[in-house]
Amino acid sequence: MTAQVKLEKKVLSENDRLAADIRQQLKQYGVVALNFVSSPGSGKTSLLERTLSALKDELNIGLIAGDVQTENDANRLRQAGGRMVQPLVTGGACHLDAKMITRVLPEFDLRRLDLLIIENVGNLVCPSSYDLGEDMKVVLISTTEGDDKPLKYPGMFRRSSVMVINKIDLLGTSDFDLERVKANARQINADLKIFEVSCRTGEGLESWYEWLRSLVGNNHQK
Ligand code: MG
Ligand code: ZN
Domain boundaries, the chain: 6-221
pLDDT of residue 45: 96
Question: Could you tell me the distance, in angstroms and rounded to a whole number, from the CA of residue 190 to the centre of ligand 1?
Answer: 27
If you measure from the C-alpha of residue 155 to the centroid of ligand 2, how many angstroms do you get, rounded to a whole number?
A: 14
Q: What is the pLDDT of residue 11?
A: 85
pLDDT band, very low/low/confident/very high, at 189 (cuts 50, 70, 90): very high
Q: Which pLDDT score, from 0 to 100, does residue 145 have?
A: 96
Cα 185 to averaged position of ligand 2 atoms, centre (Å): 22
**CATH, domain 6-221, list 3.10.129.10, 3.40.50.300, 3.40.30.10, 3.30.1120.10:** 3.40.50.300
> Alpha-carbon torsion 82, 79, 121, 124, what sign?
positive
Distance 188 CA to ligand 2 centre (A): 22
Q: How far is the CA of 38 from the centre of ligand 2 (A)?
A: 13
pLDDT at residue 220 tops 90 = no
pLDDT tens digit string along 105-132?
A: 999 999 999 999 999 999 999 999 999 9
The pLDDT value recorded for residue 46 is: 97
* pLDDT tens, residue by residue, 37-53: 999 999 999 999 999 99
- What is the number of the ligand closest to the CA of 100? 2
Residue 130 Cα to ligand 2 middle (Å): 9
Cα–ligand 1 centroid distance for 119 (angstroms): 7
pLDDT at 1: 75
Q: Among the bound ligands, name the one nearest to the CA of residue 46.
A: 1
Distance (angstroms) between ligand 2 centre and the Cα of 94 equals 4
pTM: predicted TM-score of the whole model, two decimal places: 0.95
> What is the per-residue pLDDT for 15?
96
Task: Determine the pLDDT at residue 12.
Answer: 85
CA 121 to ligand 2 centroid distance, Å: 8
Q: 124 C-alpha vs ligand 2 centroid, how far in Å?
A: 9
Query: Each residue of 6-25: pLDDT tens digit?
Result: 888 888 899 999 999 999 99
pLDDT of res. 93? 94
172-184 confidence digits (pLDDT tens): 999 999 999 999 9
Query: Is pLDDT at 149 greater than 90 in this prediction?
Result: yes
CA 117 / ligand 1 centre spacing (Å): 12
Q: How far is the CA of 123 from the centre of ligand 1 (A)?
A: 11
Q: Nearest ligand to the C-alpha of residue 40? A: 1
Each residue of 51-110: pLDDT tens digit? Answer: 999 999 999 999 999 999 999 999 999 999 999 999 999 999 999 999 999 999 999 999
